[in-house]
Amino acid sequence: MRLVFLLCLFTAWAQAQTELVPLQVTAERSAVSVADTAAAVTVVDMDPATAPARLLLPDYLRGQTGVFVQQTTPGQATVIVRGLKGSQVLNLVDGMRLNNAFFRAAPNQYLALVNPQWAEHVEVVRGPASVLHGGDAMGGVVQVITRQPAWNQPAEVAVQLAADSAQQLRQLGVEHSQGGARWASLLLIDGQQTGPLQTGGQRLDMAGYRSQSAFYKLRYRNGGNSEWMFNVQHLRQPATPRLDELVAGYGQSEPASSLFRFEPNQRDFAHLRWQNRTDRPWARRVDVHLAWQRIEDSRRTQDTGSPWENREFNRSDLAGFTAQLDAWLGRQRLVYGLELWRDRVASERYRLRRDSGLREIRRSRFPDGAEMNSDAVYAELDGGSGGWHWGAGLRYSRYHITLPQATPDAMLSLQPADTSGSLSLRRELGPALQWVSTFSKGFRPPNVYDLAALGPRPGNRFNIANPELGPETVYSLDTGFKWQGRAHFAELYLWASRYRDRIAAVPTGEQTDTGRVIVQNRNLGRENLHGLEAGWHWQQGLNRWQASLNWVWGESLTEDGTRPADRIPPLNGMLALERPLWQWELRLWTRWAARQNRLSPRDVRDPRMHPEGTPGWITFNAALSGQWGPHWRWSLRLENLLDARYREHGSGIDAPGRNLGLWLEGRW
């Protein structure tokens, strides 16, 4: 079956002619076509009427070129780019950082705190992008571009309803938009609730959770050259269970925890932006941003067999100022700017005995009052002639990390700094074909989580602090081809990355009194990753084809020799067809992944993964969408038609089984 699918993908590639890809802004921090940058970029449209899934934002990225999605538990999902995840991939919302001081390098839940209903599209830069985007952009950048209220639009109200059978989803959203010559606004309010999760042949009763969200954006323009934008966002998950802790995994006779809930997870965000176009030689365009973000990651937990219930409260307050200028020096385009970020962490923890009511204050997960501040300046120059296009960039970053009581009797202060750079080349080989290549250096300082986190970790582990960590560095080279014509786009990339001083959790050889393995973050040494990415978009008349193929190989080089790297995704891909069906729109798609039995020692110990590897899988899916009268749009989805029972590699739960999904929108 797998061989047949690979042959089908190869045939689609051989005859590929694809539709144009929309403009994107992430790779160059300004609007350019995907074909006009050497960077490898994936753009995902977020129209809910044609989307294959709509529960969490990472769901929309499943099967896309260069991307793999891991899900530890309902209400959480992580995007893996070129074998990296967590704090090794920078997440942005309209150019502002989602990553904060306690973003962990392991899979985490924070991107799920951005509602996909807010997004117009998502852009993924595959490969280091540290020059323009700073620390954490080691594996790439995931940027959410939120919806814009339109100018000169009469007042409009919309209601959205959604339901899924496999997760018993019930969702209600309300929208109001209005625009004049100078003002435009958009308001979105959304609530959703899920129940037991039905996987292929299994029902998980503890999987339900709720979320509520609100989004407001206001635009104002004073004349034709200047525009202000103000945006606020709020999303709250009051109590979300962590199923991999509550269900016995591989190699476990009982669950690690009898109670584990994120209670609550919440994100609040405010963003003010000023844009101005000028005729000055030093700046044709100026962008200034002020942003503030608060993420609350609080938990209620209890280890199996323990009489103690643990409560902890963790909060990050991140404030940022960025300014960027675009200029033209003859035929060369110059982008330059500065970034200032200030992040303060609040953390406390106590434990409670239910039988006696005894309450004990415990050391918090992070040092309370810890700060992680950064300053950076950057510049990138692009030019070309005679069919050649080149780019060169440089960034200097300086961090100041303060950890009160990082050790029992001392405060720790670190000031890591480094320079990141990039070089790129594009060569036109014909009217629609070009060769592209990029060499880049990325840099990630240890954050508060890396340096001083304390507490339970997935896989029956317990993390202890290490205030002596150093920064990570990556050198990456990719080369490939882009083929874009009037109605098609295709790309093929080969890439290799060399990591130095990688931060990873390693066992100390000790255990807690409840049997958890004690681990500590350390700079382990070198890790080499390389892979292949291919993507195709093809429009043939009214039929639209899309396909992807992704492969990653990773090795860690240690004192004991070479071993597989952690959590490397298997060979995977997707094939989709959209075409008219009478007055409706039909979408057929399949996603698949090969077996992954090349596991690191840490993977073998992880209860989320079978010690002999993750079996391959394939799903078949269909969706029908259309218009109902002058005011209503609808879509009907049938997913995992064969009710396959499978688990995406590294995930903590099986994927949903056969699912019937309904989406309905009325607009007046």
- Please say if the pLDDT value at position 434 is more than 60: yes
The per-residue pLDDT for range 497-535, each reduced to its tens digit, is 999 888 877 788 888 877 788 888 888 778 999 999 999
Any idea what DSSP says for residue 55? S
User: In this structure, what token pair is assigned to residue 428?
Assistant: 């036109």
- Please say if the pLDDT value at position 272 is more than 90: yes
| Residue 564 pLDDT level (bands cut at 50, 70, 90) | very high
Question: Three-state SS for 36?
Answer: helix
Pairing mode of beta strands 210-221, 183-193: antiparallel
User: In this structure, what token pair is assigned to residue 449?
Assistant: 């989580």
pLDDT of residue 18: 38
Q: Residue range 321-327: average pLDDT? A: 95
Integer-rounded Cα Rg, in Å, for the chain is 24
- Please say if the pLDDT value at position 22 is more than 90: no
Phi-psi region of 49 (alpha: psi -120 to 50; beta: other; left: phi over 0): alpha
115 backbone dihedrals φ, ψ, rounded to 5°? -75, 125
Buried b (16+ CB within 10 A) or exposed e, 323-356: ebbbbeeeeebbbbbebebbbbbbbbbebbeeee
Domain ranges of the chain: 2-667
- The larger pLDDT score, comparing residue 271 to residue 26, is at 271
Buried b (16+ CB within 10 A) or exposed e, 299-322: bbbbbbebebbbbbbbbbbbbbeb
pLDDT of residue 206: 87
Helix (H) or strand (E) holding 546: strand 543-558
Rounded-to-10 torsion of CA 98, 99, 103, 109: 30
| Residue 555 pLDDT level (bands cut at 50, 70, 90) | very high
Pairing mode of beta strands 517-540, 461-464: parallel
pLDDT of residue 3: 38
User: In this structure, what token pair is assigned to residue 582?
Assistant: 């009478």
Question: Three-state SS for 129?
Answer: coil
Residues in CB range of 130: below 8 A, 6 or more apart: 137, 138, 395, 397, 420, 422, 440, 441, 442, 443
Cβ of 371: how many Cβ atoms within 10 Å? 18
Question: Three-state SS for 56?
Answer: coil
Give the angle 512-513-518 at the CA atoms, nearest 5°.
5
> Do residues 383 and 412 touch, judged by C-beta distance below 8 A?
no
pLDDT of residue 4: 37
- Please say if the pLDDT value at position 17 is more than 50: no
Q: One-letter amino acid identity for 650?
A: G
- Please say if the pLDDT value at position 295 is more than 80: yes
User: In this structure, what token pair is assigned to residue 651?
Assistant: 């995930």
The per-residue pLDDT for range 170-196, each reduced to its tens digit, is 999 999 999 999 999 999 999 999 999
End-to-end CA distance of the chain: 47
Alpha-carbon dihedral sign for residues 114, 119, 124, 125? negative
113 backbone dihedrals φ, ψ, rounded to 5°? -85, 10
pLDDT of residue 204: 87
The residue to which tokens 């786009």 are assigned: 489
In 3D space, the residue among 536, 626, 534, 532 whose CA is nearest the CA of residue 576 turns out to be 536
Pairing mode of beta strands 472-485, 488-511: antiparallel
Q: How many residues in the chain?
A: 668
> Do residues 172 and 123 touch, judged by C-beta distance below 8 A?
no
pLDDT of residue 432: 87
> Do residues 399 and 445 touch, judged by C-beta distance below 8 A?
yes
Residues in CB range of 463: below 8 A, 6 or more apart: 453, 454, 455, 456, 457, 505, 518, 519, 520, 521
| Residue 408 pLDDT level (bands cut at 50, 70, 90) | low
**Homologous superfamily of domain range 2-667:** TonB-dependent receptor, beta-barrel domain (2.40.170.20)
> Do residues 567 and 81 touch, judged by C-beta distance below 8 A?
no
The residue to which tokens 């415990």 are assigned: 362
pTM for the full predicted model: 0.92
pLDDT of residue 13: 38
| Residue 283 pLDDT level (bands cut at 50, 70, 90) | confident
Distance CA 131, CA 523 (A): 23
- Please say if the pLDDT value at position 406 is more than 70: no
Q: Residue range 432-440: average pLDDT? A: 94
Distance CA 112, CA 235 (A): 9
Q: Residue range 463-479: average pLDDT? A: 87
The per-residue pLDDT for range 194-241, each reduced to its tens digit, is 999 999 878 888 889 999 999 999 999 987 789 999 999 999 999 999
The residue to which tokens 């992704």 are assigned: 550
Residues in CB range of 89: below 8 A, 6 or more apart: 79, 80, 81, 136, 137, 138, 139, 140, 141, 142
- Please say if the pLDDT value at position 11 is more than 70: no
The residue to which tokens 């000790």 are assigned: 510
User: In this structure, what token pair is assigned to residue 397?
Assistant: 């970053």
> Do residues 656 and 638 touch, judged by C-beta distance below 8 A?
no
| Residue 6 pLDDT level (bands cut at 50, 70, 90) | very low
Q: Residue range 120-128: average pLDDT? A: 92
The residue to which tokens 């958890």 are assigned: 516
Question: Three-state SS for 601?
Answer: helix
Any idea what DSSP says for residue 84? B
